[in-house]
Chains A and B, each alone.
Chain A
């Protein structure tokens, strides 16, 4: 009989993308050495375009120099997936967990992230579905509402998912989102008439829903904190 595992949740507010990469790298290294338990980062980013390992920058439709004028940054990462946009009112969750100790692989993990977002959407009576083959992510009809891009290093995950609560969708017009042309991007705001809570509360609800559907089936206890070790905590 295994003892329940702990998941620590860090609620970070708005975090610059590069800073979040550094935090993730440190946590991955700590998790690998078993210095910390499985950890989940819940945050938002200022306007940021990001690319995955394949560096598909042909899917950025405007010159990189123009991004500054939009108030956005561009970052290259080691995660899977194509180009995407992150910005305010988009819920970001980065689980830093050991897949080996759970005994699952990339496919199973990603499917769990998809299912979690689908369950969260259903709270607002939005019928979302997992992507068809080659279109990993969460969709409402032919409109993408949630994106996934993950890195697995020695069995430890980083990066994760981004769920559109109410981001400014115009930012997506400057890219071919996730490399899939002719498909729209949407948000919870667009898809539901239900009153949405203030974004900070939505983030907490989104994060909680996602981690509950991910974790409570696996006999885990969940600790939530805003650790004092992380300074410059900027609530949205």
Chain B
């Protein structure tokens, strides 16, 4: 199981440009810790959601670190189009290993699109957390909220510190 996670995380990491260089910085003994990929160009919340802001649309999903810590996702609950989301408030939930985990929105705005593929293929969140596993697209009501989110380097450090806490 751990080897499979390692393989998929490594595969994800190899798609990245600048983040790939991080792999050689990890000493061998930390391999047993989750090596999760963190994408450049995204912003991250401390509850492990990511935001991709392109023009007037922000796409939201959960990070590789989050999906690995959840386990296999079997069910996803998402809001309806045209509903509103608020920063740090719950907008949906995922179920994995008999645990439902709330997903918090990193920003406020109006939901303009929902990833309907997740109803039949919730596992996309595990296999492709940054691409096919996207959850909602939002029209941000307050773009300044993006400034308070973490960049990739900050988020990577945040994950390492969180994992080290136990």
Contacts and interface: CB of A to CB of B under 8 A. Distances in A.
Contacts of B104: 154
Given A54-B75, A155-B47, A107 B97 contact: yes
Nearest to A150: B99
Contacts of B75: 53-54
A155 B90 CA distance: 12
A103 B158 CA distance: 11
A157 to B, nearest CB: 8
Interface of A: 52-54, 78-81, 100-111, 133-134, 136-137, 148-155, 218
Contacts of B24: none
Interface stretch (B49-57, B65-73, B144-152): B65-73
Interface of B: 47, 66, 68-72, 74-75, 77, 90, 93, 95-102, 104, 162-166
A76 to B, nearest CB: 13
A81 B164 contact: no
The residue among B47, B99, B100 with the most chain A CB atoms within 10 A of its own CB is B99
A15 B113 CA distance: 43
B99 A106 contact: yes
Contacts of A103: 162-166
Contacts of B69: 104-108
B90 to A, nearest CB: 7
Per CB-CB distance, the 5 closest pairs between chain A and chain B, nearest first, are: A105-B69, A103-B165, A107-B71, A106-B99, A150-B99
21 contacts: A52-B98, A53-B77, A78-B93, A80-B97, A80-B98, A100-B162, A103-B166, A105-B69, A105-B70, A107-B97, A110-B98, A134-B72, A136-B97, A148-B99, A149-B99, A151-B99, A151-B100, A152-B100, A154-B47, A154-B102, A154-B104
Given A103-B164, A105-B66, A152 B101 contact: yes
Given A102-B165, A106-B69, 19 more contacts: A52-B95, A78-B100, A80-B97, A103-B163, A105-B68, A105-B69, A105-B70, A106-B70, A106-B96, A107-B68, A110-B71, A110-B97, A148-B97, A148-B98, A151-B100, A152-B99, A154-B90, A154-B102, A155-B47
A80 B99 contact: yes
A136 B166 contact: no
Contacts of A79: 98-100
A181 B77 CA distance: 25
Contacts of B165: 101-103
Contacts of A110: 71, 97-99
Nearest to A136: B98
A155 B93 CA distance: 12
B166 A109 contact: no
Contacts of A133: 72
A150 B97 CA distance: 9
A138 to B, nearest CB: 12
Nearest to A152: B101
Contact of A149 (B72, B74, B77, B98): B98
Contacts of B74: 134
B71 A106 contact: yes
Contact of A104 (B72, B96, B101, B166): B166
